[in-house]
Amino acid sequence: MAIMDARLEFSDAQVISASSASAVLGTNVFDMSTKKNAWGTAITGDIGEGNNGLVVNFQVATALNASAYVVAKVYHHTTSAVASGSVLGSVTFAAADTAGTRKNFRIPSGTVNRWVGVQYSTVGSNMTTGAMDAWLGLDTETPTK
């Protein structure tokens, strides 16, 4: 397991207080600003390449409502308005999932735009109690406090 700093954290016990069929953006976005290689050429890092790519980890921090489920999507975009970009992938948490329930997916290889962020959609009913953690890691990880 790797130790990642808070800059790779999208949500930390973020309350998903939303009405049915609405969405909440993660607290943070990840900026993969363009860097230069040793020859001075501008490059954008591909976080899906390398040793199986990076993993987006999601964990229920506070149990979800019994009548609503959450779809967590990861977006990438050329601007910080990530939710208007393209979806890299998603996971679905069932109604009444308990604290500690984890899901994840690997970032696919290929071009990933500069900004990466998450969005939570509530489906079925209003969400009043659920909270989520989300972070970018080297592998499937369990956060420690």
Q: Which CATH code for domain 6-137?
A: 2.60.120.1110
- What's the confidence (pLDDT) of residue 38? 82
* Contact assessment for residue 30 and residue 11, using Cβ atoms and an 8 Å cutoff: no
Mean pLDDT of 2-22: 74
* Per-residue pLDDT tens over the stretch 24-55: 899 888 887 777 778 888 776 667 665 567 88
* Contact assessment for residue 135 and residue 25, using Cβ atoms and an 8 Å cutoff: no
Distance CA(26)–CA(116), nearest Å, equals 10
Q: Where are the domains of the chain?
A: 6-137
- Whole-structure pTM value: 0.82
- What's the confidence (pLDDT) of residue 2? 39
* Per-residue pLDDT tens over the stretch 54-76: 889 999 999 888 888 899 999 99
- Bigger pLDDT: 19 vs 62: 62
Mean pLDDT of 96-112: 87
SS3 letters across the chain: CCCCCHHHEEEEEEECCECCCCEEECCCCEECCCEECCCCCEECCCCCCCCCCCEEEEEEEECCCCCCEEEEEEEEECCCCHHHCEEEEEEEECCCCCCCCEEEEECCCCCCCCEEEEEEEEECCCECCCEEEEEEECCCCCCCC
β-strand partners of 73: 90, 119
pLDDT band at 89 (very low <50, low <70, confident <90, very high): very high
- What's the confidence (pLDDT) of residue 60? 93
Distance CA(70)–CA(92), nearest Å, equals 6
Counting every residue written for the chain, the total comes to 145
